[in-house]
Structure formats: C-alpha cells, structure tokens
Structure 1
Amino acid sequence: RDGSIDVVIGTHRLLGRDVRFKRLGLLVIDEEQRFGVKQKERFKKFKAEVEVLTLTATPIPRTLHMSLLGLREISMIMTPPVDRLAVRTYITRQSEAVIEEGVRRELARGGQVFYVVPRVQGIEEHAVRLRKLVPEARVIVAHGQMPVELLEQAMVDFVEHRGDVLVSTTIIESGLDIPRANTMFIARADMFGLAQLYQLRGRVGRSRLRAHCYLMVQALERLTPDARRRLEAIQRHAELGSGFNVASQDLEIRGAGDLLGARQSGYIQAIGFEAYARILAEAVAELRGDPILREHDPEMVFDAPAYLPESYVADVGQRLDFYRRLSGARDVDEIDEVMAELIDRYGDPPLPAEHLALVMSCKTYGRKLRALALELAGTRFAVRLGPETPLSAEAAVALHRETKGRLRLAGERVVATVPAATGDDRSRQLRMCVKALAEMVART
C-alpha cells in the first residue's frame, strides 16, 4: 500500500477489496483461462492505465477473439523446449486391455502414469480396478475434496516416485512438472472441454521420452457432434506449440462469448457469429480512424462443378470447415494454404475440389474489385462492375490496350474471352479467369 514492495506474487487474494496498490503499473495474469471475467476486470479497476499481460497455452474464446479483432495484442511462442517430442494421442473405447497394456509399458521403462477422471464420485472404484489390473503398480488417489494434508502427501508421494499411478481429477491440470510421468489415461474424455484436454495432455511429454495420451470414451458411435469435434481436434493438433490451433478450434466450437458481458464463450444467436464479428471489426476500425472497407461478395455464376466430393473428404464436419475457410479467405495465399492442408491430409484433390479453389480465388479478386457479379458461360467471362469498383475509365482503356484486346470494357462489364473447355480443361479455363481478374486488380 505504501509502495515499499515492487513485485507482489499472489493468488485470487490480490482481488480483495482491502488490497491497495500505490502505483500499480503492470499486471501479469498466469494461466489466464482459470480466471473469470469479473476477476480480470477487478484487476483493471486498480488503475486506469495498468498494462496487462496474460499468459496461457490455451486462451479462452473471448480473449482469443478480442485479440483476433485487434482489441488486444497477441504474441505467440511457437518454439517448443529442446528435445521434446509430440505426445501421441489416441481416441479409444474404455478398455481394460488397453489400460493394462499402457500401464505395464510405462512401468517397464521406469515411468509413471496419470489416470484422470471427470468426477470425484467413483474415483475409488477406478483405483480399485487399476490395482486389480496391475497388482504390482502402486496406485495413489488425489482429488480436491480430500483434506489438505492428505492431498499434499499424495502429491508429494507421486512426485518423489513413491507411487506409480496417480488417479486424480482435473486438479493436475496445471502446475505439475514430472518428467518421469509419460503416459496419461483420461476417462470419459468426452466430458472435458477442449482447453482442459490440452492442458491435461501437457502434464506428460515433459522429458526426452515419447509420451502417450489415451482419450477414453464409453462408445464412439454415441458421441455428440461437439464432443467428437473436441476429441478429433486434440488428436489432430498433437504437435508441440499447437496451443493456438487448439484455442482457435475451441473458438469455432464454443463461440466468442460477450465482449462487454460476463460470458467467455457462446454464440451471438441474434445475427450470427460471422456477421457480429464483421460489424464489431468495422466499429473498431471506425473508432481508430482506420478506413472501413465493407466487403461485398460478388454474385458467382460459374458452370464448372466446384465442390469437395464426399469421396475425398468423408467427414461432413471437416468438409464444412474447409468450405468455411475457403469462402472466408481474404486472398489467394490463404486459399493456397487451405488447399495445401487438404492435399497434406487427403492427397491430390479431384477436379471438383481444384475447381472450387479456383472459383474461390476468383471470388477474392472480385471482392477487391467491388464487383457485383462474376459470370462464366462458354468462352465468355464477364465481370460486372459496381459503383464502388476502383477501376477508372482510363485504367479500363489501358487494360484493353495492354492486353491487346483480351480484356475489354463492354458497358458496365469487363469481358474476357477464355478458351472453350470441358472436363479436365475446365481448370485451365478457370485459371484464365483468375489471371484476368488479377490483371484488373493490379490496375486499381
């Protein structure tokens, strides 16, 4: 209170109304995902101009969304610690055979095992079952409802390797660094949030040994769509430093929450998430004095088959995700990145998928031109210009001259002649359309 202490490290106790700071200048919030909105806003009230630095491996949707909108600055550390290996992650049915094999394999190399359950109720039953499956394993139980002395002793025993398997709730989610523990089983993994799963998995793989994480469910076919997406996301993003990707997936699944309210996740039901995000981004740009370019999606009239075949991307959720990313791409580079990911995961794209990428490339150029419509019929490709199209009459004349008549102005349209095409030649025809649009954009 009198300013004699320069640095204070504390828990939620620092939120107490009897705690006063003379000249608070910097606030560092570690494990940001464990704090609520009201708690973080309480910190801000200490001083109007306090600098805030939040640290987290998996930012909550609200915080991540604010960063993506430019309301908060974001910095990512993508480099993993030296000699660390990615944790191999498996989605499997609850199976005693899998558990026994995994525990015995870890014990054989002198390691330890985490066994995480979603609730305190029934935790002793899990421990009894483990003792029967692997009698030689020393099983320790730890959960938040234990007396403090017993909980502390259980954790100390495990850290000092007086136990082989720790059966616990999510109290181990953060703060533990036990390099010897390199296998984890998560029972009823479908009951955990995506950020929780990522934080829990981070308890293993903290040495040079390959770690294993088993996400166990009762029945794969009975998973809810959101639960399946969470599990598939945590399995897919297994590489070190992938916390940002996990958080982005969490944002997509749970929504962004209220920027001015207390909810840290949830969809904007009234107008839709993407419309809400666009309106908010425009408001932020207006307050900052930045130019506001309201996007206009041109009407697309293409007679080419452009889609992701089910035979190429079987999962409907994945197809929808790729459609969303392609349609929302800001430039051709983003489209190329999405297509590179598709090729990496599913192999060379069939013609309809290749056509889709080319059509979306045309769309991004059409947005930049503020075009009203893009039309491809036969050998004629027409770009219908809008009142906001940044293409002057002089530029259109120069375009006609420099392309030797290949692009010409016809009324309110710029018309290009492209080669006739069917089947495999359709991609070449679409590339000509992309090239024509790129030449137009270059002169705006």
Structure 2
Amino acid sequence: MNSPPDLPQPADPSPLKPVWLPEPGHETVWSHLLGSSRGLAIAQAARLHPGPLLVVCQDARSVQHLDDELHFYLGENNTVPLLPFPDWESLPYDAFSPHPDIISERLLTLYRLPELKQGIVLVAATTLQHRLVPPAYVSGHTFLLETGQTLKIEAFRPRLSQAGYHAVAQVVEPGEYAIRGGLVDVYPVGATTPYRLDLFGDTIESIRVFDPDTQRSGDRLTAMRLLPAREAPLNAEAIQRFRQSYRVEFEGDPQKSTLYREVSKGAAPAGIEYYLPLFFETTATLFDYLPDSTLCVLEDGLTNSMETFWRDTGERYRVLRTDPERPILSPARLFLEPEVLQSALDGYQRIRLSVMTTDGEQAKDSDIHFATRLPPVLPVNPKADVPHLALFDWLNTFEGRVLVVAETAGRREVLRRLLFDHGFEPVACDNWQAFLDGDMRLALTDAGLEKGLLLDTPHLAVVTEPQLYGERAAQRRRRRESARDLSAIIRDLAELHLNDPVVHENHGVGRYRGLQMLDVGDGPTEFLTLEYQDGDKLYVPVTDLARISRYTGTHPDQAPLHKLGGDAWEKAKRRAREKAWDAAVELLEVQALRASRPGHAFPTRDEHYEVFSSAFPFEETPDQARVIEEVLADMESARPMDRLVCG
C-alpha cells in the first residue's frame, strides 16, 4: 500500500474546517471521529473535493446511520447530492426480486454517476461486491419525452415493455404504466411521482405530475426522462443472448427449467437478477460508473465483511447448485472476490475511517486526529422526581452552544415545554446550518439523528434523543404511506377474480367476467365486463375502477344479480338511505345528549408521558401514531370521549 505524501498535519483539526485530503493513489487515516462527527467530516470533504465521494460502509445498518448523519449536516438545500446505492435486500441466489423502489434508486444512481461532478454515493461493502449491468445498458435504454414530440402509442407500448415497464390498470409504483386512449400514465424509475402524458393525436400535448392515490394532475413539465425499469433487459436481443448463454452454462434440457421458459416468453421471473451475466457479453462493477476524480471513504472492518459475505455465498452455492429446475451461476460470475475489490479500491485516493471509541486512545503520527469528544450520555430516570435532571445539570455546566435534536416535531414541542418549565429558553431552529450560522445559546430542531456531537473548536454540542432515552428500534419503511382507505374500494384489477360479485354504484350487483379491449372511437381501451340479470353486459372503462366496490353481503355464490335498467337497485338504495337516516337521527340524539354533559379534561402531556412513550422500543406504524394522537386529543378535551380501539 502506498504511503501518503509527507505533508504537515493541521493542528487540532475540526470536522467543521477544511480537511486534508489524500493525493491520488494514496490513503489517509482519519481517527477520533466520535459521535456523528464522521458524518460532519464527510459532508465537509464532499464540499471541498472536486469530484464525487464513494463512501463504503460495513453493512446496511451502518449505511442507514451515516445516511441520517449526512442528511442532517448537508441540509435539504445543499449543492452536494446524496446518492444511495441500496442493496437488493436478498440473500445470494434467492428466488425473489428486489422491491421496485430499490431498483428505482439503484438505476437512478447508475444513470447519474458517470457525469457526477460532486456528490456522495453511499454503499455497503457487500453491495459493492455485486457485478452490475454495463453502463451502455443504462444509457442505451434511457429516453427523453418532451411536449410537442410525436409519440405513436402502437410503437410506445412495446418500447415500454422492453424497457421493463409493465401495464396495470392504475399506476402506483415505479416501473408501471397505463394507457387509456389519449392518456398515458407512467411511473418512471428514479422519479418521486408518476407522470401523465396527454396526447392530441400522435403529439404529446402536455406532461403533468399526478398523485397516484387521488389521480389528480399537478404541475406541468416540459420533458420527462424514462430509465429502464429493471436491471435485467428483456428485449429480443437480450432474450436470445440469455437462451444461448444458458445452454452453454448449464447441462441438460433447458426446457425443463421454469426460469428458461419464462425468460423465453419475455417474462421476468422472480430472482432474475442473479442471472445478469447471461444477458450481457460482459458485466460491470460500480467502479465502471465512477469518474476518475472519485475519492473513496472506507470504514474500518470492510475486509472482514467482504470475506464473510464471500464465504457465506460459497456455502449457499454448494447447497443450492444441484436444483435442476433452477441451476445457479458460480459466485465468481456474480460477485467480486475480496482481493479483487480491494485492488480496485487501491487505485483511488482513499480516506480510511479509524474506529476509535474512547477519548484515551492514541492515534499514529500519520493519522489525522480530529478534535472531537464523546457526546455525553444524559439518561432520563422515570422514577426520579426530576426525570431529566442529568440533562438540566449538563446544560447548566456546559459553556458552549447546544442544539437539541428531537425525532419529530411533536416530540420537539414536548422538549421545548419541558426546558421552559425548568428555566431554559430554547430557540426554534430550522436545521443544523441555521444553528451554525446563528448565535443562539440553546436551540431545538427535529431530525432523524441517532448520535450526538461534541466539538472543542468551536465549542458546541448536538444532543439527540438516544442520549436521553436510549436507542429505539426504528423500522425503516421504503414505501410511502397512502392517504386512502384501501379497504373501501377495489384499487387494482389484481384484486378482482373471474366471476366475483361486484357492486357498481349506479347499476347494482353484477358479476365480473374479465377484461375486454374495445375501440369506441378513441383508440383501443380496456374495459371491465360485468354481467347482470338475463345475461345483460355492462362495459366499464378501467379508468372508472373507483365506481366498482366489493360485494360484502351474503356468500358470493348466493349474490343476487340486478337487472340493468330496472328499479330494484334504486329501491334497495332508497331503503338503505332511509335506514341510514333513521340510524343517523338516533345517533345524533345520543351524541347531542352526550355532548351536553361535561367531561373530564386530563392534563396535557408532560415529561412523565414523554419518558413513558420513549421507553417503547419500536417505531409506531402510521395507523398506531394517528390513533395515539386522536386518543390523546380526546382525553385532553372537555368533551366526553366515545372511542373504541381494536388491535
């Protein structure tokens, strides 16, 4: 390994100040980065370095913690992009594919990397060992759509399919599209929202973002970019190469393999990602996408992580290789050996983050020894008269500036009231940069930061909730929350089965008889076929899927069919409205009587409640958090509470 050039080390270097960066082909060791100071130092290095940073962590958990730190110290409006390159989140040779959101993030990062002038790429060491699709695949299967451009639907549909997009009734996830006459909905990989193309003839008249839950269109755009929707190509050329490579790689009759038959039909079977080498003449690695100006930042312990992964992969290969239905490729075809990966890293300028856990450890003379200290642990004692006494005593004795970071805005307000009640005057602060630029002695903000920070120059500290309440087992959710009640409607055609009884809001109960393509003068469009009494048929455009709901009456086999054009459905709805009216009047009388009686308003939440809720070791689900807030609001109100909570 090359030694770094003999340059003077800065005196008492701070993660906040310009840091010494290594020359190409050399390695520098950064030590004594305690708390979240490693995230701060990397953020500052990214601003200074004229090229991207590749930050390699031991595992996915370390990636997530560092991602939180970088988001906090870079801020939302920073000029340094943070590009995650997530793992597939599956074991080698697993027979299922990654979530579409994972594929979306990976392909967007691969697309941006070759032209990236500055930024941070976060990756786990084991993810870096995976062989990837070549850069020519990503660039060659990406295309731009602009308003005013000619777009022929009959040619666009197969192009989307070849790029890995699949047709659905309603677009909700990356990699999906829906065509309804002159409207084309598509959710591009790498995008945060889907787009709606409005065609006038064969011309793109407008491009808008839209909400997949409400289907409402939003802002107009002049152009949109479509990346490939999966990492395994399924055009005719790629399928032919797969078939040829498969026959060369594996012995026996390929037609006995379900995988071979599915790919031959143009389908993407689960786990196809572990057969990427069969689709390409040569595969690539992440290094093939990186500019020459890349600076690698490496955590300690990477060698052990890579060797463990390589050993475990070899063991899985020995166990699974004998399956004739699903033969697998050797580890060397899919992954980089630890020695090969280390050799590739050695060609870049590198910073190694040395693990130091206490203030007393001594660094080598060649290290950059940062002037940071271990953030204090200020445990809350729920049984004490003043549970937060350790925090208050520390704030009274600490001579520098302090930023207290709460996990959410609600918890921030609880801490603000708590500090005010004990004689402190915290100031609300938007983010880390606002605190750094200001002069407030004590400030409060909210962010997902786990570890605190303690610096000597300048003399300041960041205090996080885990320093007070201990670590919480946060459940990371990749998919966004939905604002709709999915149990009340049929959202996707996949929820319908042939001959299911369904209810049309205007025509009553019928039976679903499948999909049918009809041309009603605006191009071929998909319709749901509903059969009613006497065999009458009703054709409902898939765009009106929200008008169809599940039948929840008797057993589906005994569901009554209404007659199209008859009055039975209207009579049934009228009787239901009358019964609902009678029930509503009765409920309103009961509610009015209850509301006229005063209830007991419990005191608002205080530090004891905060200590109690912080002891819960898991992150609440969205529904749990909503119900908790509603129950607390009811209890703090003088109105009597009428609520039943069922688990």
Higher relative contact order (CA 8 A, sep 6+): 2
TM-score bin (small chain): under 0.3
TM-score under structure 2 length normalisation: 0.19
Rg comparison, structure with higher value: 2
TM-score under structure 1 length normalisation: 0.26
